[in-house]
Amino acid sequence: MKDKQGFTLIELTAVMILLGFFLLVAIPKFKDLNDVNIKSTSRRMASIIKYLYNEAAFKKKIYKLSFDLDNEEYWVEVQEGNEFVIPDDPTLKKRKLPEGLSFKDVMTDRSRVNSLGQNEQFILFLPTGFVEPAVIHLESDDGKYYTLATKPYTGGTIVFDEYVDVLNK
């Protein structure tokens, strides 16, 4: 009796068919990764906006949600004396957007009137219970947009799954 070495053509074909089936099922899930990133980032930013609205009113301090559009980063600052500093809270640290996601723009009434560097924007949260009207547009590599619009007197955020120019409405 001869020792068998290797695989038969039928065994190899069965394995190739199974691999093909698994790839057929798995590849659409990888395409949905950008959708997951843009949705989770939108939820995280909406939560931060509500949190800062509450913190500003509760602690009677001015907070700022800052954006670096070139580096796809955002972070929180609080006014201490005459300057803004990054708080010690690790949940408010500087964050980078997930891979495949970028800021299309961040618009406020101030940024539209005052031509600050378009690459650095911020949203103010005042101790009087007011958040600056602002619109954040997130864009994924596959061309999908999400729009986040602040609600000035409630600190809430309206989220649209498309590009909406809320400030011009």
The pLDDT-based confidence of 48 (bands split at 50, 70, 90) is very high
Would you kindly state where each structural domain of the chain is located, as residue ranges?
33-168
pLDDT tens for residues 96-153?
999 889 999 999 887 766 555 566 799 999 999 999 999 999 999 888 899 999 999 9
- In this structure, whether the domain defined by 33-168 belongs to CATH 3.55.40.10 is answered with yes
| Average confidence score pLDDT of the chain | 86
Q: What is the pLDDT of residue 75?
A: 96
Q: Which two tokens stand for residue 113?
A: 């009137």
Q: Phi then psi for 162, rounded to 5 degrees? A: -160, 170
